[in-house]
Every structure is written in C-alpha cells, then in structure tokens.
Amino acid sequence: MSRLKHIVFVNRFYRPDQSATAQILTDVAEALSERGWRVTVIASRQRYGDARARLPARETLGDVSVRRVWTSRFGRAGIAGRLVDYLSFYLAAFVVMLSLVGRDDIVVTKTDPPLLSVLGVVTARLRGARSVTWLQDLYPEVAAELGIKALRGRLGAVLRKLRNWSLEGSDVNVAIGERMAERLAAEGISPSRIAVMPNWSDDEMIRPMSREACMLRSEWGIGDRFVVAYSGNLGRAHEAETMLGAARRLRARDDIVFLMIGAGHGSESLSAVAAREQLENILFRPFQPRERLPESLAVGDIHWLSLRPELEGLIVPSKFYGVAAAGRAIVAVTETNGEIARLVREAGCGEVVAPGDSERLTDVILSYAGDMARCARDGAAARAMIEQHFRRRSTIAAWDRLFTKLASARRSRAH
C-alpha cells in the first residue's frame, strides 16, 4: 500500500491573509506539498481584519488546493456576530470536510474557530481517516479568562468536556509550548496523544538587518531615534498598560519612540489614549506585507511583547519567533516564570518585566537606549536561539515525520 498522501488542513484564514495562524499554516502546507504530500486547505473567504473580503472560493496556491467556504460576515466587532460567523463556518466547513476527506487521509484542525477539533474527530471517524488537532490556544479557557462570564460556569464546563473528548479522540494533539502540554495533561489528555511543536518564523526570509539598511526608518520619519517596537496583533490577550506607563514616563525624551506595527482591539484602545493624552512618542503603523516583514521588524532597536499572566499555558505569542529571527533584543512583559520568559532567560536575548511594573520597563528601555552594543549582543543571542532550536526547515521536517508516522500506523493497521 502506498504512503498516505492527502492532508486536509482546516482553519478560518489562509494565504493571502497575514494573520499569524494563516502565515504559519501557509508555511506548513506549502512545504509539505513540496515534500510530496497532496495538501488541501479549507478556509473562509474572509481576511482576519476584513470580514467583507471575498477571496476566491477555489484556487491553487503553489501546489496547495484551497477551498474557501461561504460564511456570514459580521466580523470581530461584537460577540454575537462573531458567534454567527463561527457557526456558519462550522457548518460550511464540515460539509466540505465530509466531501474531501477519505479513508487514507489526515485531517488537521487548528483552533480558529474554537472547538473545530470536534468536527475534525467526527469527520475522521466517519471517513476512517486520521485526526490531528493543532492547538494555537485553549478554548473555552481563553474566553473565560478574558471576561466572558458565561464560560466560567456550567456552559464553560460543558464546552471544556466536549473539547477534551475531541482531544482524546484525536490521534495527535500538537501543543505549541511546554506549558500548554502541561495544561492538556492536567485535563486528562493522554501524554501519548500530545506532541510539543513550537511555532516558528521564516528564518531564511527574516534575517538581521542594520539600522542603515532599513529604509522604513526614513519612510516613517523615525530617523536616528531609539525605537521600542511592537509588531503584530495587540488583542485582548495582550497587556499594553505597562508599556503605556513607560511611554508616559519617557514622553520628554525626544530620542526614544514607541512604535506599534499592526492592529487589534488593544491597538485601537492604545491609539485613543495616546491621542487623548497627546503622547507623541507613540507611533502607529499598519500591518506590513509579508515581503516587507524583515524590514519592519528591523525598524525596532528592541521589541516588547506581552501576555496576560492568566493566559500562560493557553496561548504562546508567535511574534516572539519573528523578532528573534530578526536579531532584536526582546523585552517580555509576561509572567516571570512563563513560557516566553523562560526562553528569553535561557537564550540571554533580553529582559523579563512583570506586567504592571512600568518603572522597571522604563529602566530596561533606558538601559538599552544607552548601550547599543548590548542591543547588538542580545539581538545576536536571539538569532542564535532561532538557528539552534526554531528553524523553519527543522520544524517542517518534524511535521513531515509526524505525518509519516501516522501514515505508517495506518498501513500497519490496514495489514
């Protein structure tokens, strides 16, 4: 019997969408197709930041077949509309999954929308396929921690039980961090069904770039000022109050600027506060095309990222890997013994600041601003960490081995 060839990925967003989950999925799907797998992606016709987008229903990107299903288009403005968008995607994607997934296939569900793994397991069982759940976050815990009170009671317990049923029914559950794997084990998921596969960045495309080579600094009017950058989505899971406190403390320093590249609920709120308080040392720029990502990451002399402590083990900020690949020092405003904090300390590539400690963050920024050699050293350590542990090529090879193992198990069972 020939090697199992067909992998079906399911996620709401895919190329040309620029969200983190879409870019990571694109990397895996395209690389596996180049390695001889037949790859199909089921996604929506929307973009992450544009619910009104109408991407083609069917197309082939590289060697990947993309099927985009119809969904409602309420977007991210309200919870009710978002739920309707989720439900319409569940229904449409499930119909297409049943039509595409065969006995010798692997169906891989991500976690946008939440609980997509339930449909993946049901499809796999109905079609005699294999099921992989790729966990970028853990719901309903994330939503409960972010303030959706209904999910802290009986409804949350029911959804958690349903989620756990799907994870125990999956052949493999891919966690993106050790803390997340620990959470899964604590939920009773068998360790034999858990694999830890961190996210990554395209370290071949994103490489360290000098200040002088970065044209965006002049295009954005930054000049020689010291740049404390944030790149990516600033959502409800992220904490911006600590940075805001540091920006207030440093508002008189004309040589230091805070640069926000991206969007998100938190970015909108931060922009409103900056305008109201006339914090001219905070600049905002939109998401940049993927081909300009190496340059936009290079604008920052250092980067900060954040995660609310209650979300440790539920989410791992994937922007960490891109910043490190760009060879920039990282200031992690996170739980001091969290996943990213541990990586920063082990690599010696930055500093860890407890959320709420704006005074310490200010001191860290001033220390880096006064010592460009330290910026270079810590940035080089960040890049070295990527090359040693998180290279895109190595991670893709690990995914290939995972699917090959599942294919071999299928052949053994068939005999």
Structure tokens at 260: 């926000």
- Structural domains in the chain plus CATH codes: 6-200+391-414 (3.40.50.2000), 216-389 (3.40.50.2000)
Q: How many residues does the chain have?
A: 415
Sheet bearing 130-135, strands edge to edge:
58-61, 64-69, 38-44, 6-10, 105-109, 130-135, 172-175, 194-196
Structure tokens at 203: 């370290």
First to last CA, the chain: 9
Spans in the chain with pLDDT lower than 70: 1-4, 77, 410-415
How many Å is the Cα radius of gyration of the chain?
A: 21
Q: Can you give the pLDDT at residue 237?
A: 92
Under 8 Å between Cβ of 330 and 320: yes
Q: Can you give the pLDDT at residue 148?
A: 86
| Nearest CA-CA partner of 314 in 183, 224, 226, 207 | 183
Q: Can you give the pLDDT at residue 73?
A: 86
Q: What phi, psi does 232 have (nearest 5°)?
A: 125, -170
Under 8 Å between Cβ of 292 and 319: no
pLDDT in tens, 392-415: 999 999 999 999 999 887 554 443
Structure tokens at 35: 């390695």
Q: Can you give the pLDDT at residue 19?
A: 83
E strand or H helix at 283, and its extent?
strand 282-285
- 111 to each of 119, 140, 227, 332, how far by Cα in Å? 11, 11, 34, 25
Strands 172-175 and 302-306: unpaired
Under 8 Å between Cβ of 233 and 262: yes
| Paired strand residues for 59 | 66
Residue type, 253: R
Rounded Cα–Cα distance for residues 88 and 273 (Å): 35
Q: Can you give the pLDDT at residue 48?
A: 82
DSSP code of residue 224:
T
3-state secondary structure of 311: helix
Rounded Cα–Cα distance for residues 3 and 37 (Å): 9
Q: Can you give the pLDDT at residue 77?
A: 67
Strands 329-333 and 302-306: parallel
- 341 to each of 331, 349, 377, how far by Cα in Å? 9, 10, 18
Under 8 Å between Cβ of 300 and 327: no
3-state secondary structure of 86: helix
| pTM summary value | 0.90
| Nearest CA-CA partner of 354 in 331, 333, 330, 329 | 333
pLDDT in tens, 42-51: 999 998 878 7
What ranges make up the beta strands (E) of 81-145? Answer: 105-109, 130-135
What ranges make up the beta strands (E) of 50-199? Answer: 58-61, 64-69, 105-109, 130-135, 172-175, 194-196
| Nearest CA-CA partner of 316 in 156, 197, 191 | 197
